């Protein structure tokens, strides 16, 4: 199941909507900000209750 999660770019602070596939327990990928085009490291985990836990950081901080 695909869920949309709103996060903020760690570079420019603009809100971004990310599509998260809840059928995968853990995900890690790089997505470019649609505003400033900087690479964002995205880490996603689904907890036992089905809640989406997401963290975003600068690519250089990973």
pTM higher than 0.85? no
> What span, in angstroms and rounded, lies between the C-alpha atoms of 36 and 22?
27
What tens digit of pLDDT does each residue of 23-58 get? Answer: 888 999 999 999 999 999 999 999 889 888 999 999
Domain ranges of the chain: 2-61
What was the pLDDT predicted at 61? 66
> Is the per-residue pLDDT at 5 higher than 90?
yes
Reading the block at residue 56, the tokens are 């975003």
Query: Per-residue pLDDT averaged across 3-11, rounded?
Result: 95
Pairing of strands 52-58, 39-46: antiparallel
């Amino acid at each position: 199941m695909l869920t949309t999660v709103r996060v903020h770019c760690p570079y420019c602070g603009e809100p971004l909507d990310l599509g998260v596939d809840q059928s995968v327990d853990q995900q890690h990928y790089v997505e470019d900000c649609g505003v400033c085009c900087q690479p964002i490291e995205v880490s996603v985990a689904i907890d036992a209750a089905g809640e989406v836990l997401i963290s975003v950081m600068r690519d250089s901080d990973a």
